[in-house]
Each structure stands twice: as C-alpha cells, then as structure tokens.
Amino acid sequence: MAVGTEVVKPSFANRHRALAYNLRVARMTAATEFKLKYTGSALGYVWSIVKPLAYFAVLWVVFGRFFKLGAVFDNYPLYLILGIVLWTFFVDATTLAMASLVARSGILRKMAFPRIVVPISATMVSVVTFAINFVVVAAFLVISREMPRPAWLLVPVLLVELYVFTLGLSLILATLFVRFRDVGQIWELVTQLLFFASPIMYPLGLLPPWARSVSMLNPFTQVVQDVRSLFMPNAPPRSILVAPEVLGAGGRIYPIVVSLVVFAAGLLLFRREEPWVAERI
C-alpha cells in the first residue's frame, strides 16, 4: 500500500464554479461601487453622461467649427461622440483599476479571496458607465438617421476585444502601481499623449502613412475605427480608414494579437505578484 498524501487536483467543474463565483462577486462589487459613487449627488447617474458630453461640446466647437472638420463629412458629431465614449471607457477603466488594489488595502489584508477580483470589479464599474453613455450614442444615431443593419451585430465583438485589451493593461498597471506609485503620474501623461495621437477628433486619413500604420497597431484605434465603419458606412473613405486599408490584407489580425498578448502578459504578471500584493501595499 502506498504511503503518502495524495494531491487532489480541482476538477474542471470546481474550477468553473469558482470562476463563476468570482465573476459574480466582481459584478456585484462593481454595481455597489457604481451606486456609492453617486450617493448624495443631486443629479445622480446623470453625471455619467455629463463628462463625455462636455468633451463633445468643446471638441465639436474647436475641431468641427474652427478647423472645419464638420465640413469633411456630414456625420462628424456621430464620428466624434463614438470616439469620446470609447476613449472615456478606456481611460476610466485603466485608471480606476490601476489604484484599485492600493485603495482596498485594508480589505486585502483582512480577507482571503482572489485578488484579481479587485481590478476586474474596477473595470466593470466603467462598463456600467459605458452602458449609460451608449444611450447618448443611440441618440446621436437617431439624430443622424442611421438605420439599424445586420452589421451592427459585430459591434459587441469589437467591444469585447477592447475590454480584453483594457483588462490586460489594467492588470499590468495595478500590479506595477503596488510597487511604484510613479506609475500613476506616468499613465496620466501617457493617456494625455494618446488622446491627441489617436483619431478621436480628427480623421485617421489626415495622418502620414507611417503614422497611420503605427496608430492602427493600437487595439483602441482599430476598435474605434471599425465601430465607426459599422455605424457610419456612408462616411467618406478619408475619414474611415480601417485596418486592412492601413496595414494591408489581414491587417485586423495585428491589433487583435496585440490585445491578446497584453491580456496574457497582464494575467501572468498579476498571478506572479498576487501572493505578495497585500504585503507590499
């Protein structure tokens, strides 16, 4: 008879139940934090759409009116609000997740649970905000008289790609922020530079060819351009340049690969540092 202790590996069903439980906890935590975010405010959830609308108003006046980009194509307001809403989600999700572990240091030291739930719940707060902001996008679609079409079914797929990229980047930032607080200042600067380097308020076609290729390697740029091409199929080619036109045949593969690599790197880095997170905060 063999003597010893047998290591019993968790079954697939147990791992599946654990994953489902963690996701449910993250969803409930995100919903609770979103409600607490607006507790006591007079306008409540209305503040969720004030920020993108404020950005839209300023950028539309500056670029749509002063720089005459509104004359390039008819649906510039829709073009602009799509970029702003997607950008707001990306920046809010990464920024909230980056500081999430440090902000919950007390809970992390007292309770034992998968630490990855914390940054995931932070990104899901931004998902809720994004869902509210998309009501504004729907209003712009109605105003622009864009009729629903089967191609719109691809939009959720693109949003999933953006979330995978955002979550991977969020895990990297959250892990590094535990050790190096300077990451917060660096990321703030990087997002400001990316805002003007990304085709949010101007057409990608205005950039030189080499800059278009570099920009399209960014999954955010690819997603926002493809979402625009689905919602605005009649926009001039100069304003809607999607991956195949910039990076060649199969061009969409490159930013998708970047998204998956960033997600895998973020997950591996977080898993490696997870056992010592509470001690290093």
pLDDT in tens, the chain (281 residues): 444 444 445 565 666 676 676 677 677 767 766 666 666 665 666 777 888 889 999 999 888 888 777 777 778 899 999 999 999 999 999 999 998 888 777 666 666 667 788 899 889 889 988 998 999 999 999 988 888 889 899 999 999 999 999 999 999 999 999 888 899 999 999 999 999 999 998 888 788 888 888 888 999 999 999 999 899 877 654 444 444 455 555 677 889 999 999 999 999 999 898 777 766 66
Q: Which residues of 178-217 are buried (b: 16+ CB within 10 A; e: fewer)?
A: beeeebbeebeeeeeebbeebbbbbbbbebeeeebbebbb
8-state DSSP, 79: H
Q: What is the CA radius of gyration of the chain?
A: 21
How far apart are the C-alpha atoms of 93 and 189, rounded to whole Å?
16
Q: Which residues contact 237 (CB under 8 A, 6 or more apart)?
A: 205, 245
Q: What pLDDT, on the 0 to 100 scale, is given for residue 184? A: 93
Q: What pLDDT, on the 0 to 100 scale, is given for residue 6? A: 47
How far apart are the C-alpha atoms of 2 and 235, rounded to whole Å?
73
pTM flag (> 0.75): yes
Q: Which residues contact 109 (CB under 8 A, 6 or more apart)?
A: 278, 281
- What are 260's two structure tokens? 């998956």
